[in-house]
Chain A
């Protein structure tokens, strides 16, 4: 056998190992194991990519011809050819705007407190553990909470505000966790430098730590919000409408959102509605992928700038 690189970076010269039959068999076995492992790992990676490609292909094939300005600006209709996503898109925008306004300051505030101010004791540890647990709670459970708390107890009804508050609860733990991760990317030496200049803890955070942590925190926020925009279950639970033939005009109006509108169309028997659903999915995916692209761009941009 010719000498050459072996799997795992081992390099042997021919005479030493391959002289004995044992050595040759051993080398062969290791080569085969490495090749099999690599093939399996590559397949695992391909499954994910294939799923995405398949999804995009099917959706595009079914829905692309339904995409038009009319589709975006029309209300839903019982005639599938005239149905559009206007109300759902506006509803999604309203809900997302309110969710952002509610969840981002709360989440970032909590992250800053836990990371920069809180003493390291048992109480903080309990809070931390619970936030991590909350991030894993199924969103429909938040829907039930929202229904009991916002819709009924606070009498907000099936409003945009109730939906936004519920979604804020869903994404709050994610924002807190990713916010803390962002703050941890700032080296402690920056905090020490500011404190040693006589800055208070707040001045240190406000003027040095936050600006340096902003980009990674933004990435986390956008990813959390892109989860919220696709959430359906909690909003159906609190009673977002399936059919909304009007523009939502304020936080207390009833509403629907894109994923609910899509769900509605998919559940109709007529194939033409399924095409509308596919077109709606394209719109939703476009919004989602753009949000992710912004997050990636921010991460790329900040990593290039940061040099410590």
Chain B
């Protein structure tokens, strides 16, 4: 197990280096010049050039990257060209809001998908199954930024139940969480259904039924527990998807998370902030994936045994 963890950490370092390289080069090779955003409007050409030298932007990109990485190792990702804020500190200040939204969305997704998936599997081929699957397909096809707008329209503007945006109190979390969670629930419902169907066919369930165990217990205790493992895996990978993809939802609901921070940086061409935030977000996702994998091993004895044998 330890060998596996060390191997994963080593791979993560390699991926982080690669991500930093890709993101730094893609963004810094941009044709648009950040100086046009930060230099005063009436600055002369000489003043702009002086600013370029001051910020080190006149040096070859490879040297700039190496300097960036020297700072990166020490936890220094530079300062925003626009606001002067420290990139790392700003990211860490916004991260809790994004994590809160991510976990709330996963919760909503589980709340919808598990009962729906079990119902579909139990009644395979019936109208209940068809309705669940059509709902899942619709959820998968609906752009979440549109769903977010519809939810604002109905629950905030018409009914006045929830605020249209911001992050004040529990109520403000509900609509963004439903927006992101519904899309996730679509995929998770399919996973719950298919893994339940696989388990339902197993002999031990027939034995349980033959022994006279009540159907409710057969499904909830014997079948669902074993169908849970693929469900946990998908929910784990979805967490990383939410962390990466909640940019638009955060914008619609004025949610003060990392996604909105990145987008504001994009609009103002704040190159250091964009680069730093995308790299940090990728690291956050890699760390969460590692934790999910380890939890997965902790839950399933078969996987633990596999680690103990092969170290992989």
Whether both chains belong to one complex is answered with: no
Show the binding face of A for B, using Cβ within 8 Å.
none
Chain B residues with a Cβ under 8 A of chain A: none
